Structure 1
């Protein structure tokens, strides 16, 4: 997301608006610091006045950073990636991650799913993650020698569900059952 640069007129209007907004805050902060009335803010030595304005800009800068971080977290909560945040701010994805480390919810690192075996009722079953990543498959050989795999052992959403179906198959094909 590349934002266009501000025009000279827009920059001038923004500067006027910011200075207009800063003036009452700078006067109030100076009055609290010096104990003098707000109306006398501009009657002090020029260096004192300009340092008061500088200190006020520091307060404004901290507030802008807080509001910026809030906007980044809000965008992240709606699904924006660090790449998108960086593009909006004119920095890299890594720069955005460093600037706003908690802005984007990162899913927990997935645990690598490993195949596992199951022995029940004299038979065996194998549970394995689906290569397409959409669940679990199972195959089994009952104690009676009957084997099921592929389409006969349909895709299941979880490993536990696949194990339950494999277990039911093994029970049906246990030795000594009709």
Structure 2
């Protein structure tokens, strides 16, 4: 795949669209940082204004990087090789592997099972979002799951939430690390 070239007209339209998208974000970030009303943030020291714009581009750059990694991961999940990812990005196969190390060959991950306090929970890697969620059945028969709107960033975080659920819905007194029991 050849990296696509854009025409000068397309470049100009892209620059305009990016600046149109950046301006409200830059205004909001600058207003929060300075405490000034949004209508006054651009009338301050030119150096500070320019630095605010630069900082906002950093936010955009970080989001674009995340979206780029998501696109690479999606292409990899659909069967694209590192060679093809690299060709699409204009880099070598090795460069693509370094840039997106988990994009290719990452098939479905088997759920991690926790059996604690007489209950059972599964930790599930949600590959579409790169987040973890959990479902569980407490020893008392109560079913639970991660809040769908707030999946965990790591497997360990999901395990902590699942473990807390299993403890709350376990049977019998729970032993704390000091050996004392609690109800």
> Which stretches in structure 1 are left out of the alignment for 5+ residues?
108-178
8 Å Cα contact 2:30/2:41 also seen in 1: yes
1:18 is aligned to 2:45: no
Distance 1:4 1:58 in 2: 24
8 Å Cα contact 2:77/2:106 also seen in 1: no
8 Å Cα contact 2:29/2:56 also seen in 1: yes
Other-structure match for 1:100: 100
**Runs of 4+, deviation exceeding 6 Å:** none
Other-structure match for 1:37: 37
> Which stretches in structure 2 are left out of the alignment for 5+ residues?
108-183
1:3 shift after superposition: 2.9
Deviations 1:44-92 (A, max 9, x none): 1111111000000000000000000000000000000000000000000
TM-score (norm 2): 0.57
Distance 1:84 1:14 in 2: 25
TM-score (norm 1): 0.59
Distance 1:5 1:22 in 2: 23
The count of corresponding residues between Structure 1 and Structure 2 is: 107
